[in-house]
A and B are shown apart, each in its own frame.
Chain A
Amino acid sequence: MSRARTGKPTKVLVYRHAGVTRTTHWINVLALSFLLLSGLQIFNAHPALYWGAKSVFAHPWLAMDPAERAGQPVGVTIIFGHQFTTTGLFGWSGKGQGEPRGFPAWATVPTYRDLADGRRWHFFFAWLFVINGFVYLAMSLITRHIQRDLWPKGWQLKPAHVWHEVVTHAQLKFPKGEEARTYNILQKGAYLGVILVLLPLMLGTGLTMSPGFDSAAPWLLDLFGGRQSARSIHFISAWLIVSFVIVHLVMVVASGTWNNIRSMVTGRYAIEVDTAAPAAPANDAAGEVA
C-alpha cells in the first residue's frame, strides 16, 4: 500500500459477484417477473384454491369472486371462510363498470383476460427460469460459491449472534469494513432459503400440476398432498418470493442503492476500510464474496 496511513476510512472496491452470479441474477429477475404476472393471469381463469387432490367447489380456502350488493357489482375475497370486500382489487376490477376477475389488469400479462396467452408466457419463462437455475446451481457448486460464501459458518448460527444480527438489521445498521466482505447470517439464510427451498418448490409444485408429469412421477402428488394442494403451495410460494424481493429491495436501498446495483452489474462492491489496517485491493480480493 503506497497510500498514507491517515486512519480515515477509505473506499475500496472489492470483487463481489462472479459473472455467472450476475448474469443468472438478472435473467432470474426477468423470468420471475413474467412468471408472476402470467401466473396471476392463469390463476384468474379459476380464482379459487383448494387442498387435496380435487377441487371441492363449495369449500375453497381462498377465492376471489364477483358478487352483487345493492345492485352494484362488488369483488369479494374469501380467505379461510372470512369475507372481505375487495372491489377494484380482487374479484371485480377494471375501467368503467369493471369486470369479474381475480387479480386486476395491471397485475397480469397480458392485461386482458386470456388464459391461452398467459400459459404461453408462463411456460416460456418457466423454461428460461429452470435452465438459468440449473446453470447457477451447477456453476455455484463447481466454483464452491455456495459452500464458501452462502453456507453458514458454525459461529454464525449461535443464537446470540443471530439475535444480534436481527437487532442491527432492524435498526438498518449494516456491517462496515472487513465485516462487509462476507454475507451475514440473515443474508445467508434468506438467499439459501430462496435458492434451495422456494425456487425448487415452485418447480416441484408446478410439475405436480402437469397431468403428463404426474404419470411419470406420482410421488410428487404424495409429497405435496395432491394436485390442488400443489396449486395452493405454488401460489403461496410465489407470494413468499415476492415478499423476499420486497425485503431484498428495501435492504438494497437502505445499504446503498448504487453500490449494490453496481456490484450486481460490474461485480465491484465498495467497502470502507480503515487505512490503518490496509485491505487487499480489488484484484487480490477477487473470489472473496464472488
Chain B
Amino acid sequence: MSHETNRRGWLTAAGASVAGLWLAACDKITENPRSAAVLKSAEGLTRRAQRLVVDRKALAPEFPATAISPDFKPNGSTNPDDPDYVAQRDKGFADWRLVVDGLVERPLSLSLADLRKLPARTQITRHDCVEGWSSIGKWTGARLGPLLDQAGLKPTARYIVFHCADMLEETLDGTGQYYESLDLIDAYHPQTLLAYDMNDRPLPVPHGAPLRLRAERQLGYKQAKYVMRLEAVADFAHISRGNGGFWEDRGYEWYAGI
C-alpha cells in the first residue's frame, strides 16, 4: 500500500517535473531570437493567405443602429497628457490642424472644418480588440483615399504612417509615442476613415478626439487615436523601433487581420 503510494507520489512528481521542464523550454524557445523568428514566419503566411482570399475591396460587416454598444470600451490611452494636446483639447480643437506630408506632391494642413468638407462615409462596425473582446460603434469621417489623392502620393509612397499625440509608454528615446501604419490597399479601402464623429457626436477624448483612424478589417490596435499627422513613406524602418507601429514594436503583428 505504502509502496504503491510512494510509487504514485514518485510518478506524480516525475510527471510534474517533466511538464515543468517542458514549459520552461517553451519560454526559452519564445525568447530565443532564432526560434522566435520561426514562430513569426506564420505572420507572413497569414498576411499573404488573407490577401489572396480577401478581395481588396471586400467590406467589413456593418450593423444596424440597434447593435451599437452602449459600453464601447476605450483602450490604451484615454486622456493624453502631452501639453500641446491638452492645450488643443481645452480650446475644443479650434486651431487644431492635421498635417499630411512625406512622399506627397502637395503637403496639406487641414482643420476639422476642412476635414468635414471632404468625401465622408458613415458606418456601424465592430471593433475587435486583440485581447478578444468586441464593441460596435458608429463612425463618421473623411475617407482616407480621396484625402490622399488630394495630397497626391508620389510613386515611391508605399505606406501611410499615422503619428499620434499620445505617449503610451514612458521611454527615454521617445519610442513610447503611439503610431500606426497601413499599406495602400488598406489606406484606399472604402471603409478606411479618419473619423471625427462617434455615434453621431464629435469623437470623445477617450476614443481619440479629435480624429482617429478606422481600418475596419484589422484589429483594434490598428485604429490609431489622437491622429496628428499622416506621413507617406516608402518604408517605416526608420520610424521609432522600425516595425510600423507602437504594438508592432512590442511583438504584435503588423498585419492585424487575424
Contacts and interface: CB of A to CB of B under 8 A. Distances in A.
A215 B216 CA distance: 9
B52 to A, nearest CB: 10
B53 A216 contact: yes
B118 interface: no
Interface residues of A, number: 43
A124 B59 CA distance: 27
Interface in B211-238: 216-219
A253 to B, nearest CB: 13
B11 interface: no
Interface stretch (B65-73, B108-116, B161-169, B174-182): B65-73
A209 B218 CA distance: 11
Given A211-B60, A215-B59, A54 B136 contact: yes
Interface residues of B, number: 50
A37 interface: yes
A228 B126 CA distance: 11
B219 A211 contact: yes
Most buried by B among A43, A45, A56, A117: A117
B258 to A, nearest CB: 4
A258 interface: no
A115 B257 contact: no
A114 B30 contact: yes
Interface string A18-51: 0000000000000000000100001101101010
23 contacts: A42-B132, A43-B132, A46-B132, A53-B67, A53-B136, A54-B134, A111-B27, A114-B30, A116-B247, A116-B250, A117-B30, A119-B253, A120-B36, A120-B42, A124-B39, A127-B45, A211-B128, A211-B258, A212-B54, A212-B218, A212-B258, A214-B61, A227-B134
Interface of B: 19-20, 23-24, 26-27, 30, 36, 38-43, 45-46, 50, 53-55, 58-61, 63, 67, 69, 71, 73, 126, 128-136, 216-219, 247, 250-253, 257-258
Q: Which 10 A-B pairs have the closest CB atoms?
A: A212-B257, A116-B251, A210-B258, A46-B131, A45-B131, A55-B133, A216-B54, A124-B42, A46-B132, A215-B58
Given A54-B134, A215-B58, 16 more contacts: A46-B133, A53-B134, A54-B135, A56-B71, A57-B71, A115-B130, A119-B252, A119-B253, A120-B30, A120-B43, A120-B251, A211-B216, A212-B258, A214-B60, A227-B126, A227-B128
